[in-house]
Amino acid sequence: MKHIWKVAAVILAAITIASCGNDRFHVEGEITNAKDSVLYFENVGIESVSILDSVKLDDNGRFSFSEEAPMAPEFYRLRISDQIVNVSIDSTETVTIQAQYPQMATNYEVSGSDNCQKIKELALKQIDLHKRAMAIQQNTELEVDAANDSILKMIDDYKNDVKTNYIFKEPMKAYSYFALFQTLGNWLLFNPRSNKDDIKVFAAVATSWDTYYPHAERGQNLHNIAIEGMKNQRILKEQSQTIDASKVTEAGVLDIALTDNKGQLRHLTDLKGKVVLLDFHVFALEDSPARILTLRELYNKYQAQGFEVYQVSLDPDEHFWKQQTAALPWVSVRDADGVQSQQLMLYNVQTVPDFFLIDRDNNLVKRAAQIKDLEAEIKKLL
């Protein structure tokens, strides 16, 4: 009887192994010019990216990864250093990638998945948008307002294209979900926390995922983001209805009102009469100490002549920020929304750090990309 049980157990184990083997997906292919590079296969989760597997590539650059098939569309990526190819998986499919390093992020072909092909299209569009935006930002012949207007128009056109030809066309698809989280620098292109029209985009995909993948965590996450966005819009509407007309800010610069490291509310426009360097900063970045030292030298040199720094920290850790700014002599405020800050959107900040110069009449004069010699520009305005 015991022998019969052992045989049954072996058969059951074999069936289980065969079953598991069938419920897997495969991502395979070839990456040329990447000998001895480590190729990582990573899961792009809702909150973090985790490494699932890796391989050191040889002369032929061939690779093959296999994982258990997800119950609903899931996102993964192939990565060598900072070169990334995004893929989505929603079944036991086999996706094949043919790429060339070191331009793997743009120079690749994908087969076996329509979703992955669409994701490639969206990724290339996003890269092109970033290049065009940077070209405008670095054009020293454009005034700040003209540059910002051009970039915002470019972003609007991009979003309308993606909404029409991708998201609203097939909101149940993985590539539509992927499109929702595209960025320009640190700024979400579709941001329901600050744009009421973007709430509708998130809600459309969330509703569709409810139908096709009713228990998917990602679908619930979309609903939560859309609901949070609606709450924010209600709060903003209520605040706008209670604004005292006599306190409307200067037309020349968009006001920022945040609490400083001593607990006092500080308005950017209250510095009218001074030459102000509006600085967006993250103290946790590696190059922060050197940058702060440079600012301090400028401040010590020109503060007596009417120069001021209004520094907006985007650090997530409030205690760390207070420690870093305790001895700084200028205005140090912090935006708790971090890289999702409304201020970044208003000032069209795509990478941090970034800064602007404001004249004594509260007019925005230039941004970092338009300044070759910061000290010389400060002296002009003083």
The per-residue pLDDT for range 286-297, each reduced to its tens digit, is 888 889 988 999
The per-residue pLDDT for range 302-318, each reduced to its tens digit, is 999 999 999 999 988 88
Would you say residue 243 has pLDDT above 60?
A: no
Q: What is the mean pLDDT of the chain?
A: 86
Going by pLDDT thresholds of 50, 70 and 90, the confidence category of residue 15 is very low
Residue with more model confidence, 204 or 347? 204
CA contacts within 13 A on the Cβ side of 132: 14
d(CA 60, CA 320): 48
pLDDT of 351: 81
pLDDT of 17: 37
DSSP 260: B
pLDDT of 155: 92
pLDDT of 247: 39
3-state secondary structure of 124: helix
Pair 357, 381: CB distance under 8 Å: yes
The stretch 190-213 carries a mean pLDDT of 87
pLDDT of 236: 56
pLDDT of 379: 94
Going by pLDDT thresholds of 50, 70 and 90, the confidence category of residue 5 is very low
Residue with more model confidence, 324 or 238? 324
d(CA 137, CA 143): 10
Helix or strand holding residue 117 (H, E): helix 114-137
